[in-house]
Amino acid sequence: MSGIPDHWKWFNEARFGLFVHWGPYAAYGRGEQVLFRERLDQRDYEARACRWNPQKFDATAWADVAKQAGMKYAVLTTRHHDGFCLWDSKFTDYTSAAQAPRRDFVREYVEAFRAAGLRVGLYYSMIDWRVPAAFEGPEHDPRGWAAFREYVHHQVRELLTHYGRIDVMWFDGAWPETSRQWGSHELVQTMRSLQPHLLINNRLGRDEDDPAGTGGQSRSLGDFSTPEHRIVEDPHRLWESCDVSTSRLWGYAKGERWRPADVLLDKLVECASKGGNLLLNVGPTGDGEFPSEFVAITDAIGKWMRLHGECISGSERGEVCEFITHGRQIRKGSNLYLVVRFWDGTGALTLAGLETTVTRAVLLTTGSELRFKQTTDHLAIEGLPEKSPTDLFPVIRLECDGPPKARPWAVDRLWKGDPRRMTAWAAQRGKTVWVGR
């Protein structure tokens, strides 16, 4: 994507961020939406939330995990749909500052992450499941809605006023109301005047003409789009795919099944190859710690990133030619990176369809230079180790004499594009169905 303003370039360079879903729900160990899903008694939930007092929360320890994983930014749930605020809000006492912990967790988070050199983002749920008007909506309870909406606007202003420079504002929970009903246009103006460099996501309420408006997402408002559990490029703006490191829920759940490091790394590589970011989630425990499984997974990814991170940060959109048999391709300047997901142990690898001249090939994983032969349609790389040099994905850096480009026939993949581009190739052996005629 061209034309990205300077103050947003960091986001397009970053590619990898940490999403943290944390609040009183963590103590239940049944995900972030336990209140609604299980139709819990509102008073009981509130009483328990007010007593919630995580003793092991250490923002510096969280920031260390993110940093060593190669993540460049983070987004923390300052308030999820249950309405509990992790900062010292003066518009409610349902906060970690006014209740048992007597701590402003948002302040601790922004300070620790900034100190670690990471950019900071704040997730804020527009809906609040404690408030009847939030369910009634503006049509059935116009006065209640107006008051609730004002509360939301006040809190957003508060978050962008008292915590220094915030890099990302990440909304959620706007469904099913429109961005007009939420006053999102005014809210965006206010946010821009408070923090002109801020990146704002697209979940600011659906557009008027888009009844489906999946998850309260707006096409017209927002600086980046947020496909969830999926990797979908947005041709018109920056994008970030958010996903769980577990199986389904975002908040801490007991008995989780964790996705292995290679599955998660592949998501990051896919985002990078398509020119977008991965915001990878963790749900810390009720006591405030990252589950040990997450620490082990991000540790493995971090080790990989230290050797291969140059192909992730600042990657450009679009694979060049066919590579599905071996893995994925990432483009960056005059380099084409081959991320080999499937190491076949043959010692050789052939890439078809690269037009640009390769000047040097390096196995990034070991730093060793590789032999290769390039003909019109094929690049044959030799001398690869039989055994994969890493448990995750080895990467080959092809240095080219210009930005890597595909041969005309290879621009489109199998079953796509104009089939006639392949006629001359088929005709190499003649025209009949008989052998050798």
Binding residues for ligand GLC, rule: CB under 6 A, are 21, 32-33, 172, 215, 228, 242, 250
Smallest gap from Cβ 355 to ligand GLC, in A, equals 40
What does the alpha-carbon distance between residue 365 and residue 248 come to, in Å, rounded to a whole number? 32
What does the alpha-carbon distance between residue 277 and residue 74 come to, in Å, rounded to a whole number? 12
Q: Smaller CB distance to ligand GLC: residue 151 or 171? A: 171
Smallest gap from Cβ 224 to ligand GLC, in A, equals 13
Q: Which of 102, 122, 201 is nearest to 163 (CA)?
A: 122
Q: Smaller CB distance to ligand GLC: residue 108 or 172? A: 172
| DSSP codes, 182-209 | HTHHHHHHHHHHH-TT-EEBS-S-B-TT
| Helices 184-194 & 142-159 angle (0-180, nearest 10) | 20
Largest CA distance in the chain: 87
Q: Smaller CB distance to ligand GLC: residue 69 or 279? A: 279
Please classify residue 426 by burial: count the beta carbons closer than 10 Å to its beta carbon, then call 0-12 exposed, 13-18 middle and 19+ buried. exposed
Smallest gap from Cβ 19 to ligand GLC, in A, equals 7
Q: Which of 4, 155, 11 is nearest to 87 (CA)?
A: 155
Smallest gap from Cβ 243 to ligand GLC, in A, equals 9
Smallest gap from Cβ 385 to ligand GLC, in A, equals 40
Please classify residue 314 by burial: count the beta carbons closer than 10 Å to its beta carbon, then call 0-12 exposed, 13-18 middle and 19+ buried. middle
Q: Smaller CB distance to ligand GLC: residue 228 or 310? A: 228
Smallest gap from Cβ 289 to ligand GLC, in A, equals 20
Q: Smaller CB distance to ligand GLC: residue 121 or 404? A: 121
What does the alpha-carbon distance between residue 79 and residue 125 come to, in Å, rounded to a whole number? 6
Smallest gap from Cβ 125 to ligand GLC, in A, equals 7
Q: Smaller CB distance to ligand GLC: residue 258 or 409? A: 258
- List 16's β-bridge partners, or say none: 278
What does the alpha-carbon distance between residue 332 and residue 320 come to, in Å, rounded to a whole number? 11
**Pairing state between β 16-20 and 73-79:** parallel
What does the alpha-carbon distance between residue 101 and residue 256 come to, in Å, rounded to a whole number? 27
3-state DSSP percent of the chain in helix, strand and coil, to 5: 30, 20, 45
What does the alpha-carbon distance between residue 168 and residue 78 come to, in Å, rounded to a whole number? 12
Smallest gap from Cβ 39 to ligand GLC, in A, equals 16
Smallest gap from Cβ 249 to ligand GLC, in A, equals 8
Q: Provide the token pair at 75.
A: 């987004």
Q: Smaller CB distance to ligand GLC: residue 159 or 349? A: 159
Q: Smaller CB distance to ligand GLC: residue 39 or 387? A: 39
Q: Smaller CB distance to ligand GLC: residue 250 or 290? A: 250
